[in-house]
A and B are shown apart, each in its own frame.
Chain A
Protein backbone atom coordinates (compact mmCIF):
# COMPACT_ATOMS: atom_id res chain seq x y z
CA UNK A 1 0.00 0.00 0.00
CA UNK A 2 1.40 3.37 -1.02
CA UNK A 3 1.03 6.19 1.53
CA UNK A 4 1.13 9.96 1.29
CA UNK A 5 0.74 12.53 4.07
CA UNK A 6 0.53 16.28 4.41
CA UNK A 7 -1.10 18.79 6.74
CA UNK A 8 -2.81 22.06 6.16
CA UNK A 9 -3.21 24.95 8.53
CA UNK A 10 -6.91 25.63 8.37
CA UNK A 11 -7.20 28.86 10.37
CA UNK A 12 -9.14 30.48 7.57
CA UNK A 13 -11.32 27.41 7.10
CA UNK A 14 -12.33 27.23 10.73
CA UNK A 15 -13.85 30.68 10.48
CA UNK A 16 -15.52 30.14 7.12
CA UNK A 17 -19.16 29.25 6.78
CA UNK A 18 -19.46 26.67 4.05
CA UNK A 19 -22.09 24.36 2.65
CA UNK A 20 -19.61 22.41 0.57
CA UNK A 21 -15.88 21.75 0.72
CA UNK A 22 -13.76 20.16 -2.01
CA UNK A 23 -10.27 18.75 -1.80
CA UNK A 24 -8.69 19.48 -5.19
CA UNK A 25 -5.61 17.62 -6.36
CA UNK A 26 -3.96 18.98 -9.48
CA UNK A 27 -1.15 18.15 -11.85
CA UNK A 28 -1.64 14.41 -11.37
CA UNK A 29 0.56 12.20 -13.54
CA UNK A 30 -1.71 9.47 -14.93
CA UNK A 31 0.80 7.63 -17.12
CA UNK A 32 1.18 4.54 -14.94
CA UNK A 33 -1.27 1.93 -13.67
CA UNK A 34 -4.81 2.69 -12.57
CA UNK A 35 -5.35 3.12 -8.85
CA UNK A 36 -7.78 4.33 -6.24
CA UNK A 37 -6.65 6.70 -3.49
CA UNK A 38 -8.63 6.92 -0.24
CA UNK A 39 -8.39 10.10 1.80
CA UNK A 40 -8.44 10.35 5.60
CA UNK A 41 -8.23 13.46 7.76
CA UNK A 42 -6.05 11.69 10.31
CA UNK A 43 -2.31 11.22 10.90
CA UNK A 44 -0.80 8.15 9.20
CA UNK A 45 -0.31 6.33 12.48
CA UNK A 46 -4.09 6.32 12.97
CA UNK A 47 -4.89 5.00 9.48
CA UNK A 48 -4.24 1.27 9.01
CA UNK A 49 -3.58 -0.15 5.54
CA UNK A 50 -7.06 -1.68 5.38
CA UNK A 51 -8.90 1.52 6.39
CA UNK A 52 -11.97 2.22 4.28
CA UNK A 53 -15.13 4.35 4.26
CA UNK A 54 -16.05 3.08 7.71
CA UNK A 55 -12.99 4.75 9.30
CA UNK A 56 -14.01 7.72 11.47
CA UNK A 57 -11.74 10.09 9.55
CA UNK A 58 -12.60 8.86 6.03
CA UNK A 59 -13.01 11.89 3.76
CA UNK A 60 -13.54 10.39 0.30
CA UNK A 61 -11.63 8.85 -2.57
CA UNK A 62 -10.59 9.40 -6.15
CA UNK A 63 -9.47 7.06 -8.89
CA UNK A 64 -7.06 7.43 -11.73
CA UNK A 65 -7.62 5.62 -15.03
CA UNK A 66 -4.02 5.05 -16.00
CA UNK A 67 -2.34 4.54 -19.33
CA UNK A 68 -0.09 1.73 -18.09
CA UNK A 69 2.79 0.99 -20.41
CA UNK A 70 3.55 3.07 -23.48
CA UNK A 71 2.43 1.52 -26.77
CA UNK A 72 4.15 4.03 -29.01
CA UNK A 73 7.65 4.69 -30.24
CA UNK A 74 10.23 6.73 -28.37
CA UNK A 75 8.76 10.06 -27.31
CA UNK A 76 5.14 8.99 -27.77
CA UNK A 77 4.30 9.17 -24.07
CA UNK A 78 6.30 12.28 -23.22
CA UNK A 79 3.91 15.26 -23.29
CA UNK A 80 5.58 18.08 -25.24
CA UNK A 81 5.58 21.65 -23.87
CA UNK A 82 2.41 23.58 -24.60
CA UNK A 83 2.49 24.81 -28.19
CA UNK A 84 3.05 28.54 -28.58
CA UNK A 85 2.02 28.52 -32.23
CA UNK A 86 -0.91 30.85 -32.68
CA UNK A 87 -2.88 28.59 -34.99
CA UNK A 88 -2.18 25.32 -33.25
CA UNK A 89 -5.69 24.45 -32.03
CA UNK A 90 -5.07 20.77 -31.49
CA UNK A 91 -5.99 19.29 -28.11
CA UNK A 92 -3.13 18.84 -25.68
CA UNK A 93 -1.34 15.52 -25.26
CA UNK A 94 -3.46 12.71 -23.77
CA UNK A 95 -1.04 12.62 -20.83
CA UNK A 96 -1.83 16.22 -19.86
CA UNK A 97 -1.80 16.05 -16.04
CA UNK A 98 -5.15 15.30 -14.49
CA UNK A 99 -7.27 17.26 -12.02
CA UNK A 100 -9.42 15.62 -9.38
CA UNK A 101 -11.91 17.05 -6.90
CA UNK A 102 -13.31 15.16 -3.92
CA UNK A 103 -16.26 16.46 -1.92
CA UNK A 104 -15.11 16.40 1.73
CA UNK A 105 -17.71 18.64 3.41
CA UNK A 106 -18.70 16.44 6.33
CA UNK A 107 -15.19 15.09 6.93
CA UNK A 108 -13.72 18.58 6.98
CA UNK A 109 -16.29 19.78 9.49
CA UNK A 110 -15.42 16.82 11.75
CA UNK A 111 -11.69 17.52 11.41
CA UNK A 112 -12.11 21.24 12.13
CA UNK A 113 -14.09 20.46 15.27
CA UNK A 114 -10.91 18.82 16.61
CA UNK A 115 -8.16 21.14 15.40
CA UNK A 116 -7.38 23.90 12.93
CA UNK A 117 -4.51 21.77 11.63
CA UNK A 118 -6.00 19.19 9.28
CA UNK A 119 -3.85 16.09 8.68
CA UNK A 120 -4.42 14.54 5.24
CA UNK A 121 -3.42 10.91 4.73
CA UNK A 122 -3.81 9.14 1.41
CA UNK A 123 -3.78 5.39 0.92
CA UNK A 124 -3.16 4.42 -2.68
CA UNK A 125 -4.41 0.99 -3.75
CA UNK A 126 -2.86 -0.07 -7.05
CA UNK A 127 -3.80 -3.07 -9.14
CA UNK A 128 -3.59 -6.38 -7.33
CA UNK A 129 -0.43 -8.41 -7.28
CA UNK A 130 -2.38 -10.97 -9.34
CA UNK A 131 -2.81 -8.28 -12.01
CA UNK A 132 0.92 -7.83 -12.27
CA UNK A 133 1.46 -11.58 -12.59
CA UNK A 134 -1.30 -11.96 -15.18
CA UNK A 135 -0.41 -8.86 -17.21
CA UNK A 136 0.67 -10.06 -20.67
CA UNK A 137 2.22 -6.65 -21.43
CA UNK A 138 4.33 -5.98 -18.35
CA UNK A 139 6.07 -2.67 -18.79
CA UNK A 140 8.64 -0.80 -16.80
CA UNK A 141 6.02 1.37 -15.11
CA UNK A 142 6.48 0.46 -11.47
CA UNK A 143 7.26 3.90 -10.09
CA UNK A 144 5.42 5.53 -7.19
CA UNK A 145 1.85 5.65 -8.44
CA UNK A 146 0.54 8.95 -7.09
CA UNK A 147 2.60 11.94 -8.19
CA UNK A 148 1.01 15.37 -8.29
CA UNK A 149 1.86 19.07 -8.29
CA UNK A 150 -0.41 20.29 -5.49
CA UNK A 151 -3.52 20.06 -3.39
CA UNK A 152 -5.95 22.64 -2.02
CA UNK A 153 -9.14 22.76 0.00
CA UNK A 154 -11.83 24.94 -1.48
CA UNK A 155 -15.04 25.82 0.32
CA UNK A 156 -18.30 27.14 -1.11
CA UNK A 157 -21.33 28.74 0.37
Chain B
Protein backbone atom coordinates (compact mmCIF):
# COMPACT_ATOMS: atom_id res chain seq x y z
CA UNK B 1 0.00 0.00 0.00
CA UNK B 2 1.48 3.36 -0.98
CA UNK B 3 0.62 7.02 -0.86
CA UNK B 4 2.22 9.89 -2.81
CA UNK B 5 4.71 7.38 -4.20
CA UNK B 6 5.81 6.28 -0.74
CA UNK B 7 5.24 2.74 0.47
CA UNK B 8 3.14 2.92 3.64
CA UNK B 9 2.95 -0.83 4.09
CA UNK B 10 5.58 -3.15 2.68
CA UNK B 11 6.39 -6.80 2.90
CA UNK B 12 3.71 -7.50 5.48
CA UNK B 13 3.53 -11.17 6.35
CA UNK B 14 0.91 -11.62 9.04
CA UNK B 15 -1.35 -14.45 10.02
CA UNK B 16 -4.07 -14.32 12.66
CA UNK B 17 -5.24 -17.72 13.84
CA UNK B 18 -8.74 -18.86 14.71
CA UNK B 19 -9.82 -17.45 18.09
CA UNK B 20 -6.42 -15.86 18.47
CA UNK B 21 -5.79 -12.50 20.13
CA UNK B 22 -3.03 -10.92 18.10
CA UNK B 23 -1.55 -7.58 19.15
CA UNK B 24 0.10 -5.16 16.78
CA UNK B 25 2.52 -2.87 18.53
CA UNK B 26 4.84 -0.21 17.20
CA UNK B 27 5.69 3.45 17.37
CA UNK B 28 3.43 6.23 16.09
CA UNK B 29 3.53 6.28 12.30
CA UNK B 30 4.68 2.65 12.02
CA UNK B 31 1.65 1.79 9.86
CA UNK B 32 -0.52 0.00 12.43
CA UNK B 33 -3.76 1.86 11.70
CA UNK B 34 -3.01 1.76 7.97
CA UNK B 35 -2.79 -2.02 8.24
CA UNK B 36 -6.18 -2.09 10.00
CA UNK B 37 -7.81 0.07 7.32
CA UNK B 38 -6.26 -2.00 4.54
CA UNK B 39 -7.57 -5.23 6.02
CA UNK B 40 -11.06 -3.69 6.27
CA UNK B 41 -10.90 -2.39 2.69
CA UNK B 42 -11.30 1.29 3.56
CA UNK B 43 -11.27 3.69 0.61
CA UNK B 44 -7.81 5.19 0.13
CA UNK B 45 -6.12 2.21 1.79
CA UNK B 46 -6.49 -0.29 -1.01
CA UNK B 47 -4.12 -3.21 -1.01
CA UNK B 48 -1.84 -3.21 -4.06
CA UNK B 49 0.32 -6.33 -4.08
CA UNK B 50 0.40 -9.77 -2.55
CA UNK B 51 -2.48 -11.81 -1.22
CA UNK B 52 -5.09 -11.15 1.41
CA UNK B 53 -6.96 -14.25 2.47
CA UNK B 54 -9.66 -14.86 5.04
CA UNK B 55 -10.93 -18.35 5.79
CA UNK B 56 -8.87 -19.54 2.79
CA UNK B 57 -10.66 -17.11 0.48
CA UNK B 58 -9.07 -14.23 -1.41
CA UNK B 59 -10.74 -11.07 -0.09
CA UNK B 60 -8.42 -8.54 -1.70
CA UNK B 61 -11.03 -7.38 -4.20
CA UNK B 62 -13.97 -7.36 -1.79
CA UNK B 63 -15.68 -4.16 -0.65
CA UNK B 64 -15.98 -3.14 3.00
CA UNK B 65 -19.53 -4.49 3.10
CA UNK B 66 -18.52 -7.79 1.52
CA UNK B 67 -15.68 -8.21 4.00
CA UNK B 68 -18.05 -7.37 6.86
CA UNK B 69 -20.50 -9.98 5.61
CA UNK B 70 -17.66 -12.53 5.69
CA UNK B 71 -17.28 -11.66 9.38
CA UNK B 72 -14.58 -8.98 9.46
CA UNK B 73 -15.17 -5.70 11.25
CA UNK B 74 -13.21 -2.74 12.51
CA UNK B 75 -13.51 -0.51 15.56
CA UNK B 76 -11.94 2.86 14.76
CA UNK B 77 -9.63 4.55 17.21
CA UNK B 78 -11.85 7.63 17.09
CA UNK B 79 -15.32 6.37 16.27
CA UNK B 80 -17.72 8.30 14.04
CA UNK B 81 -20.70 10.05 15.58
CA UNK B 82 -24.19 9.71 14.20
CA UNK B 83 -26.73 12.49 14.66
CA UNK B 84 -30.20 11.14 15.39
CA UNK B 85 -29.20 7.46 15.54
CA UNK B 86 -30.06 5.86 18.86
CA UNK B 87 -27.65 3.54 20.62
CA UNK B 88 -30.17 0.67 20.47
CA UNK B 89 -30.47 1.05 16.68
CA UNK B 90 -26.73 1.40 16.19
CA UNK B 91 -26.01 -1.76 18.17
CA UNK B 92 -28.64 -3.66 16.20
CA UNK B 93 -27.09 -2.84 12.82
CA UNK B 94 -24.21 -5.28 13.11
CA UNK B 95 -26.53 -8.05 14.27
CA UNK B 96 -28.82 -7.67 11.25
CA UNK B 97 -27.04 -10.28 9.16
CA UNK B 98 -26.94 -12.69 12.12
CA UNK B 99 -30.73 -12.86 12.41
CA UNK B 100 -31.23 -9.77 14.56
CA UNK B 101 -30.79 -9.11 18.22
CA UNK B 102 -32.90 -9.48 21.36
CA UNK B 103 -33.46 -6.78 23.98
CA UNK B 104 -31.45 -8.85 26.43
CA UNK B 105 -28.49 -9.08 24.04
CA UNK B 106 -28.58 -5.30 23.58
CA UNK B 107 -28.53 -4.77 27.33
CA UNK B 108 -25.79 -7.38 27.86
CA UNK B 109 -23.56 -5.71 25.25
CA UNK B 110 -23.74 -2.39 27.10
CA UNK B 111 -23.19 -4.00 30.48
CA UNK B 112 -20.05 -5.68 29.10
CA UNK B 113 -18.56 -2.27 28.30
CA UNK B 114 -19.65 -0.92 31.70
CA UNK B 115 -22.52 1.26 30.50
CA UNK B 116 -25.96 1.19 32.11
CA UNK B 117 -28.49 0.09 29.45
CA UNK B 118 -31.37 2.17 30.82
CA UNK B 119 -29.23 5.27 30.66
CA UNK B 120 -27.80 4.73 27.18
CA UNK B 121 -30.11 2.68 24.95
CA UNK B 122 -32.22 5.66 23.91
CA UNK B 123 -29.43 8.19 23.67
CA UNK B 124 -28.05 9.32 20.34
CA UNK B 125 -24.65 8.14 19.14
CA UNK B 126 -23.94 11.83 18.62
CA UNK B 127 -21.98 14.76 19.92
CA UNK B 128 -23.58 14.67 23.37
CA UNK B 129 -21.64 11.52 24.29
CA UNK B 130 -18.18 11.93 25.77
CA UNK B 131 -15.24 10.39 23.92
CA UNK B 132 -15.05 7.56 26.45
CA UNK B 133 -18.79 6.82 26.23
CA UNK B 134 -18.66 6.81 22.45
CA UNK B 135 -15.69 4.46 22.53
CA UNK B 136 -17.47 2.02 24.83
CA UNK B 137 -20.51 2.03 22.56
CA UNK B 138 -18.23 1.25 19.64
CA UNK B 139 -16.89 -1.76 21.50
CA UNK B 140 -20.46 -2.82 22.36
CA UNK B 141 -21.28 -2.70 18.65
CA UNK B 142 -18.47 -5.20 18.03
CA UNK B 143 -20.00 -7.53 20.63
CA UNK B 144 -23.44 -7.44 18.99
CA UNK B 145 -21.97 -8.12 15.54
CA UNK B 146 -20.27 -11.35 16.70
CA UNK B 147 -17.53 -11.06 14.05
CA UNK B 148 -15.12 -13.81 13.05
CA UNK B 149 -12.32 -11.24 13.04
CA UNK B 150 -12.52 -8.04 15.09
CA UNK B 151 -9.90 -5.45 14.26
CA UNK B 152 -9.61 -3.05 17.19
CA UNK B 153 -7.63 0.13 16.63
CA UNK B 154 -6.38 1.22 20.05
CA UNK B 155 -9.48 0.13 21.99
CA UNK B 156 -8.14 1.68 25.19
CA UNK B 157 -7.61 5.19 23.84
CA UNK B 158 -10.04 7.70 25.31
CA UNK B 159 -10.93 5.34 28.12
CA UNK B 160 -9.46 5.94 31.58
CA UNK B 161 -6.53 3.86 32.74
CA UNK B 162 -8.51 2.17 35.51
CA UNK B 163 -10.67 0.62 32.81
CA UNK B 164 -7.78 -1.17 31.13
CA UNK B 165 -8.69 -4.40 32.85
CA UNK B 166 -12.21 -4.10 31.44
CA UNK B 167 -10.81 -3.68 27.94
CA UNK B 168 -8.72 -6.81 28.38
CA UNK B 169 -11.78 -8.67 29.67
CA UNK B 170 -13.73 -7.39 26.67
CA UNK B 171 -11.08 -8.67 24.23
CA UNK B 172 -10.98 -12.03 25.95
CA UNK B 173 -14.78 -12.23 25.91
CA UNK B 174 -14.70 -11.71 22.15
CA UNK B 175 -12.31 -14.64 21.87
CA UNK B 176 -14.49 -16.81 24.11
CA UNK B 177 -17.45 -15.99 21.88
CA UNK B 178 -15.59 -17.31 18.85
CA UNK B 179 -13.86 -14.22 17.43
CA UNK B 180 -10.29 -13.75 16.42
CA UNK B 181 -9.02 -10.34 17.51
CA UNK B 182 -6.38 -8.18 15.88
CA UNK B 183 -5.71 -5.42 18.37
CA UNK B 184 -3.60 -2.37 17.72
CA UNK B 185 -2.26 -1.06 20.98
CA UNK B 186 0.42 0.91 22.76
CA UNK B 187 -0.43 -0.77 26.05
CA UNK B 188 1.94 -3.40 27.33
CA UNK B 189 -0.88 -4.87 29.43
CA UNK B 190 -3.06 -5.51 26.38
CA UNK B 191 -0.16 -7.02 24.46
CA UNK B 192 0.61 -9.26 27.45
CA UNK B 193 -2.96 -10.56 27.41
CA UNK B 194 -2.62 -11.59 23.76
CA UNK B 195 -1.79 -15.00 22.34
CA UNK B 196 0.66 -13.51 19.89
CA UNK B 197 2.10 -10.11 19.01
CA UNK B 198 3.69 -8.51 16.00
CA UNK B 199 5.95 -5.51 15.96
CA UNK B 200 5.62 -2.98 13.17
CA UNK B 201 8.17 -0.40 12.09
CA UNK B 202 8.04 1.85 9.03
CA UNK B 203 5.25 -0.11 7.37
CA UNK B 204 6.78 -3.54 7.88
CA UNK B 205 6.26 -6.33 10.39
CA UNK B 206 9.67 -6.67 12.03
CA UNK B 207 8.91 -9.76 14.03
CA UNK B 208 6.03 -11.83 15.40
CA UNK B 209 5.91 -14.14 18.36
CA UNK B 210 5.45 -14.29 22.10
CA UNK B 211 3.79 -11.04 23.20
CA UNK B 212 6.02 -10.57 26.25
CA UNK B 213 9.16 -10.94 24.17
CA UNK B 214 7.82 -8.61 21.49
CA UNK B 215 6.88 -6.01 24.12
CA UNK B 216 10.34 -6.25 25.70
CA UNK B 217 11.98 -5.90 22.29
CA UNK B 218 9.85 -2.84 21.58
CA UNK B 219 10.72 -1.22 24.91
CA UNK B 220 14.43 -2.00 24.80
CA UNK B 221 15.21 -1.66 21.11
CA UNK B 222 12.52 0.42 19.40
CA UNK B 223 11.88 3.21 21.88
CA UNK B 224 15.58 4.23 22.07
CA UNK B 225 16.04 3.71 18.32
CA UNK B 226 17.08 6.87 16.46
CA UNK B 227 15.67 5.71 13.14
CA UNK B 228 12.12 5.16 14.37
CA UNK B 229 9.50 7.20 12.60
CA UNK B 230 8.43 9.30 15.59
CA UNK B 231 11.37 9.67 17.98
CA UNK B 232 10.55 10.53 21.59
CA UNK B 233 10.75 14.20 22.45
CA UNK B 234 13.89 15.33 24.26
CA UNK B 235 13.25 15.85 27.97
Answer yes or no: are A and B bound together in one complex.
no
B residues neighboring A (CB under 8 Å): none
A residues neighboring B (CB under 8 Å): none
